[in-house]
A and B are shown apart, each in its own frame.
Chain A
Amino acid sequence: MNTTFQKITLRHPYLFALGLLVIALGVNFYLQPNLFEQRVLSGNLRIFLPLMILTAGQAIVIMGGGLDLSVGTMVSMVNAILVTWITRESTGAEIATAIAVGASAGMLAGLFNGLCVSYLRLQPIVTTYATSFIYAGVALWILPRPGGLMPSELTKFYRSNPAGIPLMIWVAALLILLWVGLRGTRYGRYMFAVGGQAEAAYATGVPVSLMRLSTYVIAGLMAAFAALALTLSTGTGDPRIGDAMTLPSIVAVVLGGTRLSGGQGGIAGSLIGVVILGTIRNIISFADVPTWWQTFVDASIIIVALAAPGLIRLIRRRQTQL
């Protein structure tokens, strides 16, 4: 048997994603030679950042054995809160309050999801699908039509490069650092245990319901931060701006080597997954793919990428049988 191969892929679930990323970036660089110039690079990274933050939260929920279909509408909701609260004349204190309110709204929404899933024991997919309507409704109630304008200092800050490194790299590094720290703690071990075998975890004294609840709260908080990044990036508000981000966040987690069944995976891979999705988009637009073909090519590449680990497993099994 391929024990070493299995061991390495299990311990470092992001390795495959890293390989894909290198290939994707290579193709992108070939088509767009100025890709690694700082201006182009940080422009790209700014676009990826909101989905990266959102995906980090989705990954936590999935590793804990759940799924959250409401994260996108949470982004819309917090975006609506931020743009109605912050105006061009807002002072620093007002802005800080608005961000705190937005973060609390995200965590409350996550708490509600978590209570339904862990204490009422409702099935995650349908529950978060149902709650996504509630958050979409709240977003529309707060901000009936697109509008609002962020102060230019804030949008400028979002485009800044502290210490010469794009802001997004700092955020991604912070997310990975937090994850590496969290993974080793009791919380991290409990989370994997709950995601892998909830009954066994319960039998050995892990507070299963509390753990599940906490993963949804984290996802809600991450959705709020994703909304903040998105609001600073666009500089304006739209009550449906985040709705389409839910499904990509799940695809990115799976591309990054985290299993949907839970109990395994990581944040680094999920973030790589987001960059892969974005790079595929880049490649398509620079490869002069005709407009009508773009969706098809994009989706086909994603399916091939999703299928690749399974195909490798299939081929290896066949080889060992021979």
Chain B
Amino acid sequence: MKTTDLKALILYPPLLALLLAIILFFVGGIVRPGFANLNQAINIVRLAAFLGIIAAGQTLVIISGGEGIDLSVGAVVTLGAIIVFRIVDGDNSMVLPALGACLAAGAAIGLLNGLGVTAIGIPPLVMTLGMAGVVQGIILVVTQGELIGGPAPIMSTLISRPLVWEIPGVVIIWLLVGLIMWAVLERTTYGKQLFAVGVNRTTARLSGVRTPLIVLATFTLSGMLAALGGFMVLGFTGSVFLNLGDRYLFPSIAAVVVGGTVLAGGAGSYWGTMSGALVLTLITSLLTALQLPESYRLMVLGVILLVLLSVYGRQRGLRQ
């Protein structure tokens, strides 16, 4: 292998983030003896899987460019979990219909986001922010504060318990999502057009891409994937509360950026987001394991995030 190839491979963002995750894991073992063992590793990958699945849609939206960002994923995760919680109500046979309803609700919200952005021209940031408020409102109207229902036993078996060897089901599902995302981004017309739209909307339109349709589809997929994330999170926690998904919102964006996807759009990968989710989950687990007071934990997290983002988040210089 030529040195330039090697250099390019090492600087390949997803790989770099993955390396960082592995280093962090062993640093954790040194700083906190007992941190770096197999159980802990599995636990961290399992926690990262939830963030990773939720960040899948965020990856698509950010690649689509045009200041694309989805601030409604947190609320949609909560909504998805609550829908499943209520429909399933402890009954294994209701899991599939509930999953369908949950995905449909997520898709509908994503579609509305997409319509607001493409047809009316509201900036994605405020459109999805407003939508997050509406979804929160819908949750309050529907539940009236009373959360009735329950997860089905099969959900925790398939999602959070060890499924094959010691690997929890959600990790396998995450790998499947990763494969599907890779295929969608690299092997389908939609994927090619998505990158084209992200690089430059005008040139994409002039070369025959139906730009609004691609953006619409992207926001719809983002809503669906966030709702799927809600389903998964419910399988893990077994209970719901009114701001269940909020803590995934900004980490989903950070995971995408740490994984080397450019916030300006047009370049990136889901492998990167997966590595980014691992890195972020490791950092939060490590900080928790160190048992620092919350004030220090927040400050350290902020500094680490800043350092991580400065690796890939840098923008072009004006002279270039």
Q: Is B130 an interface residue (CB 8 A)?
A: yes
A-side interface mostly = helix
B176 to chain A, nearest CB (A): 28
Which of A129, A295, A306 is in CB contact (< 8 Å) with B254?
A129
Q: Is B125 an interface residue (CB 8 A)?
A: yes
Q: Which residues of B contact A261 (CB under 8 A)?
A: 67, 123
What class of interface size applies to chain B in its complex with A? 35 or more
Q: Given A126-B257, A299-B136, A141–B317 Cβ distance below 8 Å?
A: no
Q: Which residues of A contact B298 (CB under 8 A)?
A: 133-134, 136-137, 140
Evaluate contact between A310 and B133: CB separation under 8 angstroms.
no
Q: Which residues of A contact B293 (CB under 8 A)?
A: 141
Q: Is A122 an interface residue (CB 8 A)?
A: yes
Evaluate contact between B310 and A306: CB separation under 8 angstroms.
no
Evaluate contact between B299 and A138: CB separation under 8 angstroms.
yes
Q: Is A15 an interface residue (CB 8 A)?
A: no
A120 and B264 alpha carbons, distance in the complex (Å): 17
Evaluate contact between A292 and B144: CB separation under 8 angstroms.
yes
Q: Is A303 an interface residue (CB 8 A)?
A: yes
Evaluate contact between B137 and A296: CB separation under 8 angstroms.
yes
Evaluate contact between B313 and A303: CB separation under 8 angstroms.
no
Q: Is B1 an interface residue (CB 8 A)?
A: no
Q: Given A123-B309, A127-B313, A314-B120, A293–B69 Cβ distance below 8 Å?
A: no
Which of B116, B294, B309 is in CB contact (< 8 Å) with A140?
B294
Centre residue among A67, A122, A202 by max chain B CB count within 10 A: A122
The segment from A33-41, A95-103, A163-171, A247-255 that touches chain B is A247-255
Q: Which residues of B contact A126 (CB under 8 A)?
A: 253-254, 257, 263, 305, 309, 313
Q: Is B297 an interface residue (CB 8 A)?
A: yes
Q: Given A120-B314, A138-B299, A293-B141, A298–B133 Cβ distance below 8 Å?
A: yes
Task: Return the chain A residue nearest B144 by Cβ.
Answer: A292
Evaluate contact between B120 and A311: CB separation under 8 angstroms.
yes
Q: Which residues of A contact B305 (CB under 8 A)?
A: 126, 129-130, 133
Q: Is B301 an interface residue (CB 8 A)?
A: yes
Q: Is B302 an interface residue (CB 8 A)?
A: yes
- CB interface residues, A 168-211, toward B, < 8 Å: 198-199, 202, 208-209
Evaluate contact between A198 and B318: CB separation under 8 angstroms.
yes
Q: Which residues of B contact A130 (CB under 8 A)?
A: 254, 302-303, 305-306, 309
Q: Which residues of A contact B253 (CB under 8 A)?
A: 125-126, 129
- CB interface residues, A 260-319, toward B, < 8 Å: 260-261, 292-300, 302-303, 306-307, 310-311, 313-314
The digit string for A112-140, where 1 denotes a CB below 8 A from any CB of B, is 00001000111101110111111111111
- CB interface residues, B 190-236, toward A, < 8 Å: none
The digit string for B240-262, where 1 denotes a CB below 8 A from any CB of A, is 00000000001001100100000
The digit string for B274-304, where 1 denotes a CB below 8 A from any CB of A, is 0000000000000000000111111111110
Evaluate contact between B145 and A292: CB separation under 8 angstroms.
yes
Which residues of B come within 8 Å of A, CB atoms?
A: 67, 69, 116, 119-123, 125-127, 129-134, 136-138, 140-141, 144-145, 250, 253-254, 257, 263-264, 293-303, 305-306, 309-310, 313-319
Which residues of A come within 8 Å of B, CB atoms?
A: 67, 116, 120-123, 125-127, 129-141, 144, 198-199, 202, 208-209, 247, 250-251, 254, 259-261, 292-300, 302-303, 306-307, 310-311, 313-314
User: Would you mind naming 14 contact pairs between A and B with Cβ atoms under 8 Å apart?
Assistant: A120-B310, A120-B314, A122-B314, A122-B315, A123-B257, A123-B263, A126-B313, A134-B302, A137-B298, A260-B123, A295-B140, A296-B134, A300-B134, A310-B120
Q: A127-B309, A130-B305, A254-B126 are in contact. List 4 more A-B contacts (CB 8 A).
A: A120-B310, A121-B315, A137-B298, A296-B137
